[in-house]
Structure 1
Amino acid sequence: MTNLGSLVNHFLIAMPSLADENFARSVTLICEHSGEGAMGVVINRLTDLRLGDIFEQIGIEREQAAHTDSTVYLGGPVQNNRGFVLHEPLGHWESTLSVTDRFGVSTSRDILEAIAQNRGPEKFMVALGYAGWGAGQLEREISENSWLSGPASRDIVFNMPTEQRWKAAAQILGVDLTTLSGEAGHA
């Protein structure tokens, strides 16, 4: 890694000039970051699916209306047929990556079964797929002015309306994205 340090539990906020259709106007929560690369989940891209659709597709029995109308997000272009559950508290699930001591991302079926039975974590967000970067790739993209990075906010992840997350994440840094130029400054 370069001098950025770890970006775990940070938002990557797409700059207005980022044209990649997978990430334009996106906010990604970085869940893992090391010299080998980075992994995150986009928190502001909706799919047409509801959680009830996912339960049905993978054969999970559910309580009557247990979260069936919950929105499912497109977490990124990698493995977008696989579920990633951002959640708080951490709990004890079969496959969980801790982002902080209170917050994690799980990929195991047991957390979805618990959600379907109203025994899941207090706060959760289900996404299909994730965003991934190889060694040095994310650092290079940040230096090329593709991304802003700043501290993550659980309130933005779990409570804010999806369409407000991009601007709200930048506002944590005191940045108004509508006034930014896409050009990097070089002396």
Structure 2
Amino acid sequence: MHGTDLTDQFLIAMPALSDPNFAQAVAYVAQHNAEGAFGIVINRPADVTLEEILAQMDLRAATPEIGAQPVYSGGPVDTERGFVLHAPLGDWEATLPVSDDIGVTTSRDILEAMAKGEGPEESLLALGYAGWDAGQLEQELGQNTWLSVPASREVLFRTPAEQRWQAAATTLGVDLTLLSKDAGHA
């Protein structure tokens, strides 16, 4: 397990994971290195829309469809801060490239563009993120808390939020509904 880079992978919460922040969560790992890991939960719509976030920034959505986009609860850390997962990478002020075509941007310019309908081809806005200290994620994987699978744009951007947990696991051929909540007692 050591030395495995989980950047650009989905972490799928195993059924036994009962932490309310992560039960049935799918987190997209945007960065994983010796210092730890940073990810965004992609299947937890928050009770807020893009229009409400834009309004807080004195911006207006060009169309009702733009404003109605859901905002996700990206994790328990820094929940006031917005993170835009998007493809393609584009040219924004503050982007962490995750793969050749997916990035995480935290600068205002991407939201200004999204408000006008000129943002990235595909995007997901989350408030907050999930963080793991050095070695913590590896330890949790060793305890079968998470299942890791290569990320797919299909699940990330095009699958309805309530289907992402199962859809991500299906890419490995795993049916999570058949797994017991009691680890090791299937």
TM-score (norm 1): 0.95
Conservation of the 8 A alpha-carbon contact between 1:66 and 1:118: no
Distance 1:57 1:157, change over 3 A: same
> Equivalent residues in 2 for 1:48-87 (5 A)?
48-65=47-64, 67-87=66-86
* Aligned twin of 1:148: 147
Is 1:103 the counterpart of 2:117? The answer is: no
What code does the residue aligned with 1:99 have? V
What code does the residue aligned with 1:78 have? V
Deviations 1:157-186 (A, max 9, x none): 11001111000111111111111134444x
- Give the Cα–Cα distance (whole angstroms) in 1 for the partners of residues 35 and 24 of structure 2: 26
- Give the Cα–Cα distance (whole angstroms) in 1 for the partners of residues 65 and 146 of structure 2: 37
* Aligned twin of 1:159: 158
| Partner secondary structure for residue 100 of structure 1 | coil
Give the root-mean-square deviation of aligned CA atoms. 1.5
Conservation of the 8 A alpha-carbon contact between 1:16 and 1:177: yes
For structure 1, the 5+ residue unaligned runs are none
| Partner secondary structure for residue 158 of structure 1 | helix
Task: Percent identity, please.
Answer: 55
Conservation of the 8 A alpha-carbon contact between 1:13 and 1:149: yes
Conservation of the 8 A alpha-carbon contact between 2:84 and 2:123: yes
- Give the Cα–Cα distance (whole angstroms) in 2 for the partners of residues 95 and 27 of structure 1: 24
What code does the residue aligned with 1:88 have? A
For structure 2, the 5+ residue unaligned runs are none
How many corresponding residue pairs? 185
- Give the Cα–Cα distance (whole angstroms) in 2 for the partners of residues 43 and 63 of structure 1: 25
Conservation of the 8 A alpha-carbon contact between 1:66 and 1:117: no
Conservation of the 8 A alpha-carbon contact between 1:93 and 1:108: yes
Which is further off, 56-65 or 13-22?
56-65
> Equivalent residues in 2 for 1:1-187 (5 A)?
2-3=1-2, 5-65=4-64, 67-185=66-184
Distance 1:111 1:66, change over 3 A: farther
- Give the Cα–Cα distance (whole angstroms) in 2 for the partners of residues 97 and 67 of structure 1: 24
- Give the Cα–Cα distance (whole angstroms) in 2 for the partners of residues 183 and 34 of structure 1: 30
- Give the Cα–Cα distance (whole angstroms) in 2 for the partners of residues 163 and 61 of structure 1: 28
Deviations 1:33-77 (A, max 9, x none): 001000000000011101000000121244243610000000000
